[in-house]
Amino acid sequence: MPLLPKKQGEMIEGYRVMAELGRGAASIIYLVQDPKTKHIWALKHVVRDSEKDQRFLDQAITEYEIGSKVHSPLIRQVERMVTKKSGLLTVGELFLVMEHVDGASVEREPPRTFDDAVVICEQVAKGLSAMHGAGFVHADMKPNNIIVDNELRAKVIDLGQSCKIGTVKQRIQGTPDYIAPEQVHRRAITPKTDVYNLGAAMYWMLTRCFVPTALAKADSLVGSVDDHLIERPRRAIELNSRVPEMLDKLVMDCVEVNPDDRPSMATVADRLNLIHGKLRAEQILRKSGQLPKIEPVAAERRESGGR
């Protein structure tokens, strides 16, 4: 079943298409409006054209099943799902109606100051903490899955790889530059997995470098690296000397190889809140001339964090 794009003004499952927002390997996301309520939504249309597309359907189903159980203003909400069969048992087409999140991803528009980075990440940590409280792990936290609007309001998106706490996945899932050791070695996925993923994302925000992961380098004969052989990342403050020490310490705590050595997500949120307060106090002192001004968050040099 081919994926045929809809034009502006056309109807799709009772919603009027306003614009196309983006495309994936087997999906198109539209900006749509409910003609009855006038409410604006994002609608993802996924089509199974061949067996290799099944994983995209599975991810959309996961996003609905978990997203409909997690209720937080910091996590994108899922409204409804419609499936259509292409045979007696096989789902061939899926429509996922979701909250429309207006803004840009952190990957596309990184935070300009340390304070902005802290404000964004504190919201993300609170959202993920709420998700953990509902019994689920995001399992793919990265800059591209954080959307921020013009008022620095952040929202976590893309629950396609999310799972119940304690899940052991059948295959390696995650984004290579942010993946936790337990994801690579297919051990239980826990809230501490999200802590690592978020820590790796914060590391990138502060340095524009990546944390070395358990995935082997391209020229390696093995697919992964044992925990004790994983290269330790250089401290964020070594790559960007303007990084506040408290923030550097938090990030490095989050990317510890052993999950037991990482803080809880609630603790991450609390520490970010404290850092935010300290940065704001320093900001007031700078405006009064009692402290020197500092440069934006951009790293001093663009190099790998050890990878």
Per-residue pLDDT of 204-238, as tens digits, reads 999 999 999 999 765 554 567 888 888 899 999 99
Strand duo 136-137 + 163-164: pairing: antiparallel
CB contact at 8 A, 19 and 102: no
**String of b and e for 145-165 (b: at least 16 CB within 10 Å)?**
bbbbeeeebbbbbbbbbbbee
Instruction: Report yes or no on whether pTM surpasses 0.95.
Output: no
pLDDT recorded at residue 304: 37
Residue 145 has pLDDT above 70, yes or no: yes
Residue 76 has pLDDT above 80, yes or no: yes
Supply the DSSP symbol for 21.
E
The model's pLDDT over 18-37, given as tens digits with 9 standing for 90+, comes to 999 999 889 999 999 999 99
Q: Could you say which DSSP state residue 217 is in?
A: P
Residue 301 — very low, low, confident or very high, per pLDDT cuts 50/70/90? very low
Virtual torsion, Cα 50, 51, 54, 55, nearest 10 deg: -110
For the chain, domains (ranges, CATH) are: 11-99 (3.30.200.20), 104-287 (1.10.510.10)
| Strand pairing report for 91-99 and 40-47 | antiparallel
CA 114 from centre of chain:
19
Q: What percent of the chain shows pLDDT beyond 70?
A: 91
pLDDT above 90: percentage of residues in the chain: 79
Q: Give tens-digit pLDDT for 172-193.
A: 999 999 999 999 999 999 999 9
The whole-chain average pLDDT of the chain stands at 91
User: pLDDT per residue over 234-289, tens digit each?
Assistant: 999 999 999 999 999 999 999 999 999 999 999 999 999 999 999 999 888 878 77
